[in-house]
């Protein structure tokens, strides 16, 4: 639906949307704008944070920058701006990302160094995300196609229910779109398939390997989108009368073998938990990017969390909504923030995602609505825990 919409215009709409919802912030008090894109060319180039900020009506005194960490682009703009706030250099910052995969397919214009393969730094499969997902199935035979398809069906069902309950719409920004039939207004995600079922998924082809296990049905969609969020210091929250939705506790990025890229969130989560002095049992809500179902399942199995645990992606994930690479990190944040409002018994949640060429990223967040009570995930005891 965004075929005739520029990528930078999508970012501008996202920035304007979040600023319009926080009118108490003087525009000249925004200290920086960081916008991520994986393929930084054409209408996704030209230092997006600066150009989109100006197009969104921010004063020319407000600087901006662009960041690339592939799938974790918006996550990295968030942690970068959040670090600036924690250091005391910023009071207000905007972080987000965009990916117009219709105009700029993954890897378009890229020229991987031949040393990667010639010197066996990575396998050829490592340069293809779908093939890395197949390798996860190889490494962990218990991660079957049937389990991946089941997870995919649940993602679609949960996303449809979240829309039905009005959980998603408050964080969306309507966008005027042009098509062959004229102008219209985009008000909801177009990739949802609530009628998805196991029987249909079982018939899908496996494009990355003959008789493989990764299909279009148990993978994230290739679509277009943009996100933006406002980060603020505690002092700025008080000064401008803002309503905090989450507090960033800490974050971590980590590297893994590129040919099993999907394992990245495991070490990044372990690293972040150690930094925060927490354990996985302290985490009451999980927003895990569903690049591939098998990638999320590998994370859940590692931490001994049931894939049907209601704390895991309560609104569904990228299998239903799609994964416009560099924008997805902030989508995970907005969904977690909404879930915090609904679950005051939960103190901590995480957003986590795998990243191309063998990386993972995790951010731990604290719920400002926490009521001080203990929480338990499905099948988990609260004995001895606070």
Query: Among all residues, which ones are annotated catalytic?
Result: 71, 323, 354
Q: Which two tokens stand for residue 376?
A: 């338990």
d(CA 99, CA 325): 6
SS3 annotation, 245-288: CCEEEEEEEEECCHHHHHHCHHHHHHHHHHHHCCCHHHEEEEEE
Say which residues have a Cβ less than 8 Å from residue 304's Cβ, sequence separation at least 6. Answer: none
- Please give the distance of CA 155 from its chain centroid, rounded to a whole number: 15
Give dist(CA 315, CA 155) in Å, integer. Answer: 8
The radius of gyration computed from the CA coordinates of the chain, to the nearest angstrom, equals 20
Q: Count the Cβ atoms, other than its own, within 10 Å of residue 320.
A: 27
DSSP string over 66-112? EE--GGGHHHHHHHHHHHHHHHTS-SEEEEEEEEETTTS-TTTT---
Cα separation values, 169 from 166, 259, 317, 335, 341, Å? 6, 37, 15, 11, 15
Nearest-angstrom CA–CA distance, 354 and 220: 12
Q: Is 365 helix (H, G, I), strand (E, B) or coil?
A: strand
Q: Is 384 exposed, middle or buried (0-12, 13-18, 19+ CB in 10 A)?
A: exposed
In the chain, what is the straight-line distance between the N-terminal and C-terminal CA atoms, in Å? 47
């Amino acid at each position: 639906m965004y075929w005739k919409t520029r990528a930078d215009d999508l970012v501008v709409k996202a920035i304007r949307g979040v600023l319009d919802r926080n009118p108490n912030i003087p525009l000249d008090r925004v200290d920086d704008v960081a916008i991520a894109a994986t393929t930084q060319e054409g209408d996704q180039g030209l230092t997006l944070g600066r150009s989109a900020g100006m197009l969104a009506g921010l004063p020319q005194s407000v600087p901006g920058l662009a960041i690339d960490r592939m799938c974790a682009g918006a996550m990295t703009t968030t942690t970068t701006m959040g670090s600036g706030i924690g250091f005391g250099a910023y009071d207000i910052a905007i972080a987000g990302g965009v990916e117009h995969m219709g105009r700029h397919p993954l890897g378009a214009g890229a020229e991987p160094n031949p040393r990667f393969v010639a010197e066996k730094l990575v396998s050829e499969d490592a340069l293809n995300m779908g093939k890395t997902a197949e390798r996860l199935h190889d490494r962990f035979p218990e991660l079957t196609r049937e389990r991946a398809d089941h997870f995919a069906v649940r993602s679609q069902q949960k996303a449809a229910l979240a829309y039905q309950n009005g959980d998603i719409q408050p964080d969306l920004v309507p966008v005027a779109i042009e098509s062959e039939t004229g102008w219209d207004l985009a008000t909801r995600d177009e990739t949802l398939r609530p009628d998805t079922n196991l029987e249909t998924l079982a018939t899908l082809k496996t494009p990355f390997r003959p008789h493989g296990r990764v299909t279009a049905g148990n993978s994230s969609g290739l679509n277009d989108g943009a996100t933006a969020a406002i980060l603020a210091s505690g002092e700025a929250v008080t000064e401008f009368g803002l309503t905090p939705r989450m507090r960033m506790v800490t974050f971590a990025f980590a590297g893994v073998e590129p040919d099993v890229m999907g394992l990245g969130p495991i070490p990044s989560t372990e690293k972040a938990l150690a930094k925060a002095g927490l354990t996985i049992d302290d985490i009451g809500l999980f927003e895990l990017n569903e690049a591939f179902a098998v990638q999320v399942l590998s994370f859940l199995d590692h931490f001994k969390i049931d894939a049907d645990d209601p704390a895991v992606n309560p609104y569904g994930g990228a299998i239903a909504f799609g994964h416009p690479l560099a924008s997805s990190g902030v989508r995970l944040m907005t969904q977690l923030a909404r879930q915090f409002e609904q679950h005051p018994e939960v103190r901590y949640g995480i957003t986590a995602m795998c990243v191309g060429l063998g990386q993972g990223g995790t951010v731990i967040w604290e719920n400002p609505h926490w009521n001080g009570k203990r929480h338990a995930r499905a099948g988990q005891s609260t004995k001895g825990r606070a």
